[in-house]
Structure 1
Amino acid sequence: MCIGVGEKGGPKRCSADARGRAEIAHTAVLTQTQVVDDLTAAHTQSSIDIDELVAAINGDLSPEQEAAILARTEDPTPPEPEPESKPEPDSSPAATSWHGQMAAASAEVDQAWSAVQIAEAEFAKSPEIPGTAVEKVRHTMECHEQLLAASTVYEAKVRAAGELVAARADTLIAERLDGFPEDPPRVTLEELRDLQRSTWTDGASLAEYHRKVEQYNSEHRRITGRDRVRAEAYRDVLSQIRPVGDAAPKIAGKRPHKQTVADLQAAARFIPGDWITAVDDAHGPITVRRATGKRGYYSRSEELIVTGGEEATMHHEYAHRMEAHIPQISAATNAFLVRRTQNADGVRDQLERYNGSRSELLRPDGFVDKYVGKEYGHESTEVFTTGTEALFAGQYGGLIGAQRRETGESYSADEEHRALILGLYATALRGEHR
């Protein structure tokens, strides 16, 4: 063992230490010798070049010798290639057309959805990684954050595609509503209250009051002529992207209510056929029932839809079935709901009771109706259902600020919500991304 500097009896050099230092010195000598040789050769070549240059000036060289000197003195470094010019944006008619833009937007949606699927797979495997409990928890949380980020990007891409659909549909709607008669005025809650008070004070006809109540109830969820014009425009534009309304839902039961079946078929006209086929094949036929005067609902465990006989309610409840079984829909609607109900500091809006109910909680945000922000605690939302009902049945002001039916005032518009719904109808479960 060698004794180092500062140690008792040191410093001393062992044989291995001395040999190593000798090898380092030898290498340094060889390196310096090579440098000297290179400098000597360069000096000798410079002397030759100078002599040849003087001879060339005096005319003492042959043409062959002059050519050789010129070739030797040329820059041996090859010229740098010119930088590649960036490709000009594709300005072809196919790329600049609406169909070209939709194809590009749909491709971005598909790419974003692939990223969501990868993140979901990583999150599902996270509990299985080796390591301590703390490491497992940390890894799971990281995977969850990556999944949330991928879902946020996916939702944004879906909305971008939906904006293209909305812009094209708005053009059609404006053309078709030009000169179209206005919807007749509706009975409002305020009118009913005034009429009710007058029956007490002025002795107005109670029968007239009841007639107005029946009219209000029948109109409350009725689809107007202008509603249908907008709905058909959305359908026509979506049909330019994919087949819509080309599949009939399978219905369970021997004698379902005829009008309820008709309402389901009417709603299916606006649903991509491959959605209906995929859900029916995987989860069986849907049972439909009518319960007049009761609140409609969809039961996933029973695959059952109950309505009170309103076509608008069927749009809503059938949309619940689509969201329950098509993961692209629930991924986008949940990301939308989180983003819209989250403050800048990352804290979400406080939960509130819906109409005083303890079982129904929501985060109001700035939706057209508080019900849009309902929280279920799992994949389901009311984002897709209310959006579908708005676009194809004219509810919630169609998300464009149309008249509020309960009061006669106007709803607020929500272009983001509309774009999300149209984007999902245009892109979800298409082609290889089923």
Structure 2
Amino acid sequence: MSHDFDPLQPEQFDSAHADYARLRQQCPVAHSEAWGGFWALMKHEDVAAAAADWQTFVTSKQNVIPKVAFTGRRPPLHLDPPEHTPYRRALAPLFTERRINRLEPDVRRICRDLLTDMVAKGGGDIVGDFSAHMPIATFATWMNLSPEAVAELTRVGRDYNVAVQSNDMDTTKTSSLLLYDMARAIVAERRASPLPVEEDATSALLAVRVDGAPLPEEMIVGTIRQVLVVGIIAPSVLIGSIAVHLARDPALQQQLRANPALIPAATEEFLRLYAPYRGFARTAVTDVTIRGRTIPADEPIALVYASANRDADVFPEPDSFRLDRPNMKDSLAFGRGPHNCVGAGLARLELRVAIEELLAAAPGFELAGEPLPTRFPEIGALNVPVRFGGAG
């Protein structure tokens, strides 16, 4: 079997995107021997088609590369339709525009508190000091968690993220089990004292009935465990990448400061450029041939969203930041098909407010060192040292 690329090789912040550009041109259906071997789809058309075709490309066998699910199945991502549908249906009302908009004052307060401390010190790590904490505090508000649970989630979530990025399987397993313990505690608390289902994810899941029966308790625990991680890691990584881009482009900083009405469009372009996932996986139930290359059944396939979103066949000048792209609906930042991100509205709110508050915190900021990149399955920034100062 050919070895077309090596996801374990050392990377810089931009290097993976350069390699994916090569693969899109020379080997768009690529194979790697890492982690026991897997395939990777690099082109937008192929990634979108596989994500939408859940009958052929299932997620229930392996949902991420490398495989880090040590315990239990975590709906809805680990299940295929129709089995996954009751879990998504329970969560979806909690992500309505009305419900999300109510969180904006909390998100803005959280951002300001974190950035005030950073600016007072003259700088810091955008990820470690800001974006690793903001999504957790926001998510805790959305999930109605206690202050004690927020502190524990902050610690364990950060440990889990760093362990996954460092390929530290022992710490990944330990922190994953701790996240399960947290999820069980949340479920037990809501079972004893339920909240209105339209206001609380756990209470909504506990209230679901399928053919008159409740959802299995361990599956509810798995859902909460899944939501905890997806809701905190992706925004943390993406905000780090956005900070790198803005630090490198003082003119864009000033443009967005001068005209904040442009920030929603900028957010969409940042989502395209820095889609934080490259390791979400599917498994074909039968042999499939894509662009003349046959992928055998039952072998894991990475949907490299980060590559698909820089495909020149869909996005002209794909590595450039453009506020006026006419086809942003083609972005795969939130996936496609039945597993598209149910929390996209909350993610957009977090990103928009984070950008607004980062730009408002000081007249300018610049990199104070090289950003540290993440590793599979995410792609983006794990550490972004910045220095606050005057306008660039």
Tell me the TM-score normalized by structure 1.
0.25
Higher helix proportion = 1
- Say which structure, 1 or 2, has more relative contact order (CA 8 Å, 6+ apart): 2
Which one has the largest radius of gyration? Answer: 1
TM-score (norm 2): 0.27
